[in-house]
Amino acid sequence: MFFTIDPDNGLAIYDQILRQVKFAVASGALQPGQRVPSLQELATTLALNPNTVARAYRELQSEGILEMVRGIGLEISSKAVKRCQQDRDALIRERLRSVLLEARQSQLDDAELREMFDAEMTASKPKSGRK
Amino acid sequence: MFFTIDPDNGLAIYDQILRQVKFAVASGALQPGQRVPSLQELATTLALNPNTVARAYRELQSEGILEMVRGIGLEISSKAVKRCQQDRDALIRERLRSVLLEARQSQLDDAELREMFDAEMTASKPKSGRK
Amino acid sequence: MFFTIDPDNGLAIYDQILRQVKFAVASGALQPGQRVPSLQELATTLALNPNTVARAYRELQSEGILEMVRGIGLEISSKAVKRCQQDRDALIRERLRSVLLEARQSQLDDAELREMFDAEMTASKPKSGRK
Amino acid sequence: MFFTIDPDNGLAIYDQILRQVKFAVASGALQPGQRVPSLQELATTLALNPNTVARAYRELQSEGILEMVRGIGLEISSKAVKRCQQDRDALIRERLRSVLLEARQSQLDDAELREMFDAEMTASKPKSGRK
DNA sequence: GTGGTCTAGACCACC
DNA sequence: GTGGTCTAGACCACG
């Protein structure tokens, strides 16, 4: 899998996994019916303790995103896509709102804020075509 | 004071105080030489544990934003303004970058992201203008 | 065979097979001397891992319910009936006791409990009687 | 607290705690706003590892039964009572249904089943008045 | 091989 | 003091 974990993120590791699984489903990188890497596999790949991964997977199960198939492993549920797309939007919107709220309270003016946004947008733009 | 604390913010309470003091200085709401509410006063006003307020003030002192004046209390230092304005920009930019990074990793496209940004910008716009 | 397997039953699949064989013998649906479906047959019919069926059959052999007949397969032993009837009562009584115990500890009163019991009794009543 | 844990219950320990908290709330033994024993307290009382208790509490939080108060601990939420009463009924009914279903499939007749039920009801009756 | 559970113990943030 | 998180490692049930 293609998860990137940053231990100093502020977010708990299990939460980063949780979010990234949701985001992968929302973007179609993970499809319903597809198996998710096993606990041990993901744990060793990311150099994490299996328990940490287990917690993320457990919560995804309780949200109905993942389904357990006895003796096989965990797979993406059919109803996961819609759910994950909603979640992705909500999760990002929530963080965005929180930042903007703080910016507003600090009297940062619109122009400056937009400027920051644009700067960070281009800065974070993935590598691509000619300039 | 006019701080608004949200315990479910993700940010620690002491950190919210810390940031809001800085932001108030940056915006001119708090001026150098001006006194800051006493520990007990702020703690009771915001219904917080005095230790929490103490921790925020302590860090502000160690950063040179607040200065202790014997027999008076804590007040905004003269060199605080420039410092706070820089901090404000950096703190907000940092959060913004973090959100955008996650959005990018989740394959959320630019258009949708911009749309979210605009929506939240207008949504968070303080009451004003013609009714 | 006429087994019904529910993977989300709480009971292990092999245990469900085990119990249903015993219950079938107890009720006379399976008679001593009668052959039991082969490992592969049952496994494919129920879409189970052969190991799962094997485990159930193995335990039934070790309890003397099933006997291996060379060149033929597994069949119900002669002494199975009495044994299975006893087991059936004990197994059901045990589960019933466990439920009632928990209900008692949760302060659910007798009347309500009886009501539940009656409701579930009629609800689970097999189709029959005058229409 | 007055929880009784049976490690050989079939149910996971964290699940026993989970259910018993719900049942205590449903029966009024735990009231909304009341604090629940701290992780360490309950863990030492029941001779369990704090993590085990933590898992039960965490799930109760995610179900909205418990609410975290920063630096104070966990307490019963206001909406918990209704929720827990429903849950209690559902949980017990579910187990009851499962037992009766199996009994039915095993051709155990009504009379015998009722007899068992009555026997276990009186057997599990708590100690009380004169005989 | 899969996940589930539990233990033991560490460190941290917060109040 | 509170809970949160993570690690390390063991054992079990299941398929």
Tokens 């259910």 -> residue:
D19
Q: Would you place residue B128 in the very low, low, confident or very high pLDDT band (cuts 50, 70, 90)?
A: low
What number of other Cβ atoms are within 10 A of residue B1's Cβ?
Answer: 15
Quote the DSSP letter at residue D34.
Answer: P
The percentage of residues in chain C with a pLDDT greater than 70, rounded to a whole number, is 95
Tokens of D74: 């966990």
Q: What is the pLDDT averaged over residues A55-73?
A: 92
Q: What is the pLDDT averaged over residues B21-48?
A: 92
Tokens of C64: 């003397």
Which residues does chain D have with pLDDT short of 70? Answer: 1, 127-131
| pLDDT at residue B127 tops 90 | no
Q: Would you place residue A131 in the very low, low, confident or very high pLDDT band (cuts 50, 70, 90)?
A: very low
Say how far apart CA C30 and CA A91 lie, in whole Å: 57
Say how far apart CA A4 and CA A20 lie, in whole Å: 8
Half-sphere exposure of A84 (CA within 13 A, CB side): 29
Contacts of C13 in chain A (CB under 8 A): 70
pTM value is 0.89
Residues around strand F, C-beta < 7 Å: A 7, 12-15, 47-52, 55, 70-72; C 7, 11-15, 48-49, 51-52, 55; D 38-41, 50-51, 54, 57-58, 61, 68, 71-74
Tokens of A100: 């903007």
Which of B88, B107, B124 shows the shortest C-beta gap to A100? B124
Q: Average pLDDT of chain C? A: 90
* DSSP secondary structure of A54-88: HHHHHHHHHTTSEEEETTTEEEE-TTHHHHHHHHH
CA of residue C52 to C1' of nucleotide E4, angstroms: 19
What pLDDT score does B8 carry? 77
Q: What is the pLDDT of residues C8-66, one digit of tens each?
A: 778 899 999 999 999 999 999 999 999 999 999 999 999 899 999 999 999 999 999 99
| pLDDT at residue A103 tops 50 | yes
Nucleotide nearest to D72 (CA to C1'): F2
Which phi and psi angles does D23 have, rounded to 5°? -65, -35
| Under 8 Å between Cβ of A71 and C14 | no
Rounded to the nearest angstrom, the gap between the alpha carbon of residue A113 and the centroid of all alpha carbons in its chain is: 25
Q: Which chains touch D (3 or more CB pairs under 8 A)?
A: A, B, C
What pLDDT score does A128 carry? 60
Q: What is the pLDDT of residues B60-80, one digit of tens each?
A: 999 999 999 988 899 999 999
What pLDDT score does A93 carry? 93
What pLDDT score does C2 carry? 73
- Closest residue to E1 by CA to C1' distance? A71
Distances (CA, A) of C130 to B8, B69, D32, D104: 61, 94, 50, 20
User: Using H for helix, E for strand and C for coil, what is the string for A13-47?
Assistant: HHHHHHHHHHHHHHHCCCCCCCECCCHHHHHHHHC
Coil, helix or strand for B14? helix
Contacts of D59 in chain A (CB under 8 A): 62
